[in-house]
Amino acid sequence: MTGELSPIDKAKFVAARRAADFVEDGMKVGLGTGSTAAWLVRCLGEMVREDGLRFRGVPTSTRTAELAREVGIEVISLDEAKWLDLTIDGADEFDAELNLIKGGGGALLQEKIVATASDQMIVIADAAKEVARLGAFPLPVEVIPFGWQTSQALIEELLISMDVMGRNSSLRMNGDAPFVTDEGNHILDLHLGRIGDARQLAMILNQVPGVVENGLFVDICDKVVIGYADGRVETRDINEGTVTEDRLDFVESENLFRDL
């Protein structure tokens, strides 16, 4: 089965497989959203079914919740969990300080709430997600539908004084209609090119009326697990200042790959 995967999917798979080892019996775990996080959910589901792993998952989107239930993971809400031992999620970009851009999948609000309600956040990614400076990936900003054009104009005005390369933004669409998040909001994608001060920009964006949250995750991620197509996995711990490397063998599993 794994021979049919693209190199990038192999990289995502080994990162997810390695990160799944951080989940222990009895934990309450935030489950991210997106293609890499979906690999994690499948891996954890296999561990539940075949190894007897018992933990409770708090999904960051309706589609993650559906997949988690499908593979046999016990799903609870964040209100039920109150606090999490660990959140594992993907990222659209990460830098050397493990600051992130997230929200390409449209779930940034729940992702940020869940990640900040955790003792630890681990990001799983392929090597292409690492950048010297954030900003090449469009920065998602979740806004309420009422007056979204006003919020957009205010955002573009404040960007004039920010250390960014571009100031254009666009309303994310789903076909002919605006994309709608799980909370019923819209997303503006900011095409910045380069972000000079992610911390400052994150704080200022959230002061704009109508902005619910932005996709800059600053000082939230503790570890990043980077997968490579040849099975190599690199784990960086920002708190310990350590980098470890190992290699995972691809394991055939009809259960894990049946949906591909």
Share of the chain above pLDDT 70, in %: 95
Q: Which residues pair with 140 in a beta bridge?
A: 189
- Whether residue 107 has pLDDT greater than 90: yes
- Whether residue 192 has pLDDT greater than 80: yes
- Which residues are part of a known binding site? 33-36, 89-92, 102-105, 129
Share of the chain above pLDDT 90, in %: 93
Domains in the chain with CATH codes: 2-129+219-250 (3.40.50.1360), 139-214 (3.30.70.260)
* Active-site option among 111, 142, 156, 254: 111
Averaged pLDDT score across all residues of the chain: 95
Residue-wise pLDDT for 227-250, tens only, equals 999 999 999 999 999 999 999 986
- At 260 the pLDDT is 41
Residue-wise pLDDT for 110-130, tens only, equals 999 999 999 999 999 999 999
Contacts of 161-168 with C-beta under 8 Å, sequence gap 24+, read 162/196, 162/197, 162/200, 162/201, 162/204, 163/195, 163/196, 163/197, 164/135, 164/192, 164/193, 164/194, 164/195, 164/196, 164/201, 165/135, 165/192, 165/193, 165/194, 166/190, 166/191, 166/192, 166/193, 167/192
Strand 216-217's sheet: what is its strand order? 93-94, 100-101, 216-217
- Active site annotation includes 111: yes
Classified as helix, coil or strand, 64 is helix
Which tokens in the block code for residue 161?
């004084």
Residue-wise pLDDT for 44-62, tens only, equals 999 999 999 999 999 999 9
- Which residues are part of a known binding site for substrate? 33-36, 89-92, 102-105, 129
Task: With CA atoms as reference, report the closest residue to 11 among 2, 23, 22.
Answer: 2
Q: How far apart are CA 242 and CA 42, in angstroms?
A: 28
Residue-wise pLDDT for 153-176, tens only, equals 999 999 999 999 999 999 999 999
Task: With CA atoms as reference, report the closest residue to 202 among 258, 249, 140.
Answer: 140
- Look at phi and psi of residue 52 and say left if phi exceeds 0, alpha if psi is from -120 to 50, else beta: left
* 13-to-183, 203, 232 alpha-carbon distances in Å: 29, 34, 11
More confident residue, 76 or 2: 76
Which tokens in the block code for residue 246?
């190992």
